[in-house]
Amino acid sequence: MSDKRIRGLEPEPVLGEPWVALDDADALRDWGKDERIVWNQQGRQAEKYRFYRRVFDFLTDSQIAGDYHEYGCHRARTFRMALTEARRHGQADMRFFAFDSFAGLPDATSSPDHEVWKQKGALTTSQDEFMRLIREHGIYADRVVPVPGFYSDSLTEELGKRFQQDEKPIALACIDCDLYESAVPVFRFIEPLLQEGSVLYLDDLFAGYRGSPVRGVARAFSEFRARSRFAFVKHLDIGWWGRSYIAYKPDPSVPVDLD
């Protein structure tokens, strides 16, 4: 991989056309697959971290108390972002629940376009490795609770009742399920745990199904919205792939057009 600095995550202004600094043919001479992966990952993770900085500011400013849920925790990247911003914003009572099979993806039945999503067991991070990354990060590790298992098996009615009785409502949930069949039980599980002001970050709203709103996580969310006791207003866009929504109690007498 080239050791040249990869730039362009934030536009660098220049005097004169084209008014932003662009890599030229010389800068991209040795550009290949490895550089493309680094470029995409740096850009995507920067977008995600920008979201976590903003959303924890929203939660704190709006006095929305509750827990953090993450459904799909591969490599603990966004999970560590949540821990960092929770600490920065003084969320001293927040607990952090990591829902994951810790054995990779289940069998896909919804025909995603990403080849890796079609492979059972892909994107595996073991529970031990996940917790090692959390402990190494060193923030609120004692308040991180792994909940292992495929969602169709682990998100049981019994577990839901326990959460409703013993845990605080959701302040922020990151739903990074990749697949429609994974997202459906997640939305069913979180419904009783939502409060007005809960934020749902849908990581794969436009990914894996060529942006189709009738497939994948987008379809699961649309079905959930139709039956939920809450309404959801668009909040923030995260890159080209994700979006967050805020739960609120609908008032039939007040028209809403913020989507």
pLDDT in tens, 153-207: 999 999 999 999 999 999 999 999 888 999 999 999 999 999 999 999 999 999 8
Q: Is residue 31 part of a domain?
A: no
> What share of the chain has pLDDT > 70, as a percent?
90
Contacts of 123 (CB under 8 A, 6+ apart): 74, 104, 105, 116, 178
pTM for the whole thing?
A: 0.92
Domain that holds residue 140: 36-248
- Mean pLDDT of the residues in the chain: 91
Contacts of 74 (CB under 8 A, 6+ apart): 100, 123, 124, 125, 176
Alpha carbons 166 and 218: distance in angstroms, whole number: 30
Q: Is residue 48 part of a domain?
A: yes
Residue 208 is predicted with a pLDDT of 85
Question: Tens digit of pLDDT for each residue in 18-69?
Answer: 999 898 999 899 999 999 999 999 999 999 999 999 999 999 999 999 999 9
Contact 92, 171 (CB under 8 A): no
The count of domains in the chain is 1
Q: Is residue 23 part of a domain?
A: no
Residue 17 is predicted with a pLDDT of 93
Q: Is residue 173 part of a domain?
A: yes
Q: pLDDT higher for 103 or 222?
A: 222
Q: Is residue 253 part of a domain?
A: no
Q: Residue 93 maps to which CATH number? A: 3.40.50.150
pLDDT over 80 at 113, yes or no: no
pLDDT band for 119, please (50, 70, 90 cuts). Answer: low
Q: Is residue 19 part of a domain?
A: no
Q: Is residue 256 part of a domain?
A: no
Residue 117 is predicted with a pLDDT of 46
Q: Is residue 124 part of a domain?
A: yes
